[in-house]
Amino acid sequence: MSEVRVRFAPSPTGAPHVGNIRTALFDYLWARHTGGKFILRIEDTDQAREVENGLDLILGSLRYLGLNWDEGPDIGGPYGPYRQSDRLQLYTQYTQELIDKGAAYYCYCTPERLEEMRKEQLARGESTRYDRRCRFLTPAERAAREREGLPRVVRLAVPLDGETTLHDFIHGSLTIANRDVDDQVLLKSDGFPTYHLAVVVDDHLMKISHVLRGDDWIPSFPKHVLLYQAFGWEIPPHGHVPNVLGPDKKKLSKRHGATSVIQFRDEGYLSEAMLNFLALLGWAYDDKTELFTREQLIELFTLDKIGRAPAVFDRNKLDWMNGVYIRELSDAQLAERLLPFMMGAGLVTDLGTVQRMVPLFRERLKKLSDIVSLADFLLVQDLEYDPHLLVGPKMDKATTLTALRTAQEVLESFSSFEDETRIEAELRTASDRLSLKYAQFFGALRVAVTGRTVSPPLMGSIRLLGREKTLWRIDWAIHALETS
C-alpha cells in the first residue's frame, strides 16, 4: 500500500456537527492505524455562510478529541495552501482545462431565468435541473454574450447517455444513468469554485489516498467521478459512512439537543468518552466490546468494519460511558477536570476545595457539569427551600422539630466533624431514643443541612460543610419550621 493520506475538509460555517467529527475520527484512526497522514483542509468557498469564529470552532473540536492533524492551515505542509480561498488560481486553471476538453462550458443564464425554468419544471411534475440551454449555443451566440459582458458560470458537461459508476468500499458499486445527472455549476461568477470542483482538484493535488465522507454526498458521486475521468486522474477509493440519527431515527438535528462536540465538551463530557462513543457510531470491532482506549481504537480500526446502516446517537449510552470514564480517573485527576465548571459557576476558586468534594460525588456524576448542581449546597451561604420539606412521611411538625433539636444537640457535642462513623452512630442512637425510623430522623436532618430530600451521603456532606455551617443551617431550619 502506498502512503495513506486522508483529509477532513469542513466548512467554517459553525461548530462541526457530531456526524462531521465522527467522519474526521474515522479518517484520523485510519491514518494512525496505517502510519499515514491526517490532513485538515478548510473548504471556505461559500463565503456568504462563513462565520467569524468558524475556523476556531473547527480547531477546537478536533483538539478536544485529540485529533491532531499532520498538515493544515495552521501548520502548513507540502501540498498547501490548505484553505480553498487561497487556491482560487488553481481552480481557474483546471476549469479552463475542462472547457478546452469540452467537459465544461460557460453558462450565461440569469438567476431570474433559472428560477422561471424551475417553476415550469415543477409545474410539469419534473425534477428541477438545468435545461442545458447554454451548452448548445453556437459560437456566434456565445461570442455575442461575451461582448455583452454578461455574468457567467462554468458548468460540467455531463454525458447525455450512458451511466457512471463508483465502487464504494462501504456500499459496493453505485451506478446512476447520466441522463439523471445535472450539469452542475463548477465555477461561480465570482471566481469561487463550488464544492464539486474544488474537492476533486484538491484531493488529487494533495494526493488523498482514501475519501471518507457522509452518506449525504452519495447523490454527488457521479459529478465527481466524471470530473476525475475528464481530467484523466485515478479515482481514490471512496466510502460513504452512515448518517447519524437521533433516537427517533430521523437525522440528528438541534431538536435532539446538542449536535456539536463543542457543546458536549462544554457540558462536561470527557474527551476519552466522546472519542470512544463516536467511534462506535457506524463502526464496530465485534458485537460485544464497547470500551476502547485511543490506542486500542488505532490498533483495531479498519475500513471493512464500517457498517452501512445509519448509526443512532444514544444519549443514555453516552452518559453511561462518560460515567465509566469519570470513575476511572483518580481523585486528583477528576478534581482538575471539575475545577473549571465550579469556577465558571462562581462557587470555588481553588483546587483543594474541589479535591475534598470528589469522593462524595464521583459515583453520582454522569458529566462534569453535574458537579455544579450536585455540590452547590455545600458552597452557598444560604439555602432556599420550602420548610415543609422538613416534614417527611408519617412525620408532623412537632416530631420533626424534636428530631432536629435532638440532632443539633448531638452535633454540638462534637468539636470536629471529621469522624463520620462516630457521628453517625451517635445520631442513630438519638433516633432510637426518639423511637423514630432512621429514614424519618435522617430525612429531616438531610433537608435541614442540604435543602434537598435527596443528596450525596449525609455524613460526608456534614463533614464538608463543617461544624459552624451545619449547626447554623439546623438552627435556621428549626426557626423556619416554627414560624411556617
- H or E segment to which residue 377 belongs: helix 370-379
If DSSP codes are grouped into helix, strand and coil, which group holds residue 43?
coil
What's the grid cell of residue 45?
468557498
Cell 463530557 found at: 269
Give all strands (DSSP E) within 257-335, no chain letters: 311-312
Contact partners, residue 230, CB within 8 Å, separation at least 6: 98, 101, 103, 104
Give all strands (DSSP E) within 148-279, no chain letters: 153-156, 163-168, 172-177, 185-187, 211-214, 238-241, 244-245
Rg of the chain, C-alpha, whole Å? 32
If DSSP codes are grouped into helix, strand and coil, which group holds residue 164?
strand
Q: Is 139 exposed, middle or buried (0-12, 13-18, 19+ CB in 10 A)?
A: exposed
User: Cβ(406)–Cβ(375) under 8 Å?
Assistant: no
Contact partners, residue 365, CB within 8 Å, separation at least 6: 323, 326, 371, 374
Say how far apart CA 258 and CA 268 lie, in whole Å.
12
Say how far apart CA 71 and CA 54 lie, in whole Å.
19
User: Cβ(127)–Cβ(177) under 8 Å?
Assistant: no
Q: Which residues pair with 154 in a beta bridge?
A: 106, 187
User: Cβ(107)–Cβ(154) under 8 Å?
Assistant: yes
Contact partners, residue 303, CB within 8 Å, separation at least 6: 30, 169, 170, 210, 239
Say how far apart CA 411 and CA 415 lie, in whole Å.
8
Q: Is the peptide bond before 78 cis (omega within 30 degrees of 0)?
A: no
Cell 462562581 found at: 346
Say how far apart CA 60 and CA 148 lie, in whole Å.
48
Catalytic one of 254, 305, 317, 394? 254
Counts of helices then strands in the chain (DSSP H, E)? 19, 11
- H or E segment to which residue 106 belongs: strand 104-107
What's the grid cell of residue 270?
470527557
User: DSSP secondary-structure letter at 21?
Assistant: H
How do strand 153-156 and strand 185-187 relate by DSSP bridges?
A: antiparallel
Catalytic residue at 254?
A: yes
Residues annotated catalytic, as ranges: 254
